[in-house]
Amino acid sequence: MIDASVAELRQALDARKVSATELAHLFLNRIDAHDAAIHAFITVDREGALAAAAAADERLARGERAPLLGIPFAHKDIFCTEGVRTTCGSKMLENFISPYDAHVVTLLKEAGAVSLGKLNLDEFAMGSSTETSYFGATHNPWRAGYVPGGSSGGSAAAVAARLVPLATGTDTGGSVRQPAAFCGITGIKPTYGTVSRYGMIAYASSCDQGGAFGASAQDCAALLEAMSGFDERDSTSLNRPAPQLRAALDAAPQDAARPLAGLRLGVPVEFFRDGLHPDVVRALGDARRQYEALGAQCVEISLEHAARLAIPAYYVLASAEASSNLSRYDGVRYGHRAADYDDLDSMYCNSRSEGFGAEVRRRILIGAYVLSHGYYDAYYLQAQRLRRLIAQDFRAAFERCDLIFAPVSPTPAWKIGEKADDPVAMYLADIHTLAVNLAGLPGLSHPCGFSEEGLPIGAQLIGPHFSEVRLLEVAHRFQQNTDWHCRRPVLSAA
């Protein structure tokens, strides 16, 4: 059961071979046995999980059938949950209990999915390794002492270690795709505006987007479908019908031997040039040949601006938006308040200095600087222009190809601590994921091999706006013909 796909869990629940309560216990016991070593969870909500499972069992007993009814999962601790603390990985919100549920939380509750708790992340989702969490780093289940990626590292590690079959995440610059790659699972970030940001703690609002983690494209499809849909409380939510993802994947291909015949896969030359780890080059080369064997035709494309300008543009814009979004944490309305202060100014100052970690303070300082009078034109406006050039790169590329095939990260996971004192090295690791967010495009990461050290490597598929169905379908065809997504880490006994 632990290794079962969502479809298999669905069948077992519907056939009453297992109850939602039994499933919740099964995964909660696994968390008890293994999470001390992995530290994927910030909060395990045993009571809430068992209550939700009992409610799911009642619905099942009444004959109700729904895709996620009774399926265990967990939320990245950036989604507000009424009654269960929401920390965003920060001391600032260590004891914050939200008075309301995020839209995604409401949707998954209504769907009958059973939340087991809240998953670790980089503080306020700023980072690529889950090391900036106030609650301590998460370990990569494939190898203790290595990062799981970030910022949704707790989500990816939990799914890879099968502490949960599914997890939510968010992706501002790669935070779903990169940890999925580092942990050997599948992750999708949909088109900006597909998943409501209501109740999802804001980092860089013009890039933030909820996404889904699962072992396979099929599992991700089940979760993303349930998370998607218009929400009038998010002004950037798209008012279009939620995509029907599962049905598209279940359909048989017309040509079983060459299910991807006719697909043009764009290979961006700039993304395969210097700086790629040799194991990534090898794994991506194998994946490309596999795609060709399935009938896809690879065409060279150029993403010149995306490759060269995404990092500077993103880190200016994301920091600017972060400095504005995080101004709400003032120690007055909610969040950490310093014990010692003399006046209002020192209360703000002490509360924020104590409540935020070093990386968050760095982003706030950069953001305040680039938005300040005198520097706004030189940095913020300039970065907006770069953003437009990057979006144009993709528009031109999609005239020549249907989807883009690229690395997720230049390297496999690194050792905990290895880049902790070098923020620029950490930022450079995002080079292949950031541009997708700046252009608001959907992107998916799926496992495609291992490094010599035994760490997973992921391949990225990028599509035009609203191509989630196609992305998942193409990844699914790859997974029907390979078994990278079926590999599981061996966890040491508790």
Under the rule (CB under 6 A), what is the footprint of ligand GLN?
125-128, 151, 171-175, 203, 318, 430
**Catalytic residue from among 19, 133, 155, 175:** 175
Residues 6+ apart with CB under 8 A from 316: 366, 370, 379, 380, 382, 383
SS3 state of residue 222: helix
Q: Least Å distance between CB 157 and ligand GLN?
A: 16
Task: Find where tokens 């496999």 sit.
Answer: 412
The angle that helices 217-227 and 6-14 make with each other, rounded to 10 degrees, is 70
Contacts with 127 (C-beta within 8 Å, 6 or more apart), sequence order:
150, 151, 359, 426
- For residues 319 and 365, give the distance between their C-alpha atoms in angstroms, rounded to a whole number: 8
CA distance linking residue 241 with residue 68, whole number of Å = 19
Number of neighbouring beta carbons within 10 Å of residue 251: 8
Residue 127 vs 259, nearer CB to ligand GLN:
127
Residue that the structure tokens 């013909």 belong to: 481
User: Which parts of 218-377 are beta strand (E)?
Assistant: 264-268, 297-301
Q: Nearest 5°: phi and psi at 152? A: -85, 45
Nearer to ligand GLN, 81 or 151 (CB): 151
Cβ closer to ligand GLN: 141 or 174?
174
CB of 356: closest distance to ligand GLN in angstroms?
Answer: 14
Q: Is 118 a catalytic residue?
A: no
Rounded to 5 degrees, φ, ψ at 108 are: -75, -30
Name the catalytic one among 19, 115, 128, 151.
151
Least distance from C-beta 327 to ligand GLN, angstroms?
18
Closest to ligand GLN by CB, 402 or 430: 430
Taking the least distance from each CB to ligand GLN, the nearer of 114 and 200 is: 200
From the list 19, 76, 228, 351, the catalytic residue is 76
Which are the catalytic amino acids?
A: 76, 151, 175
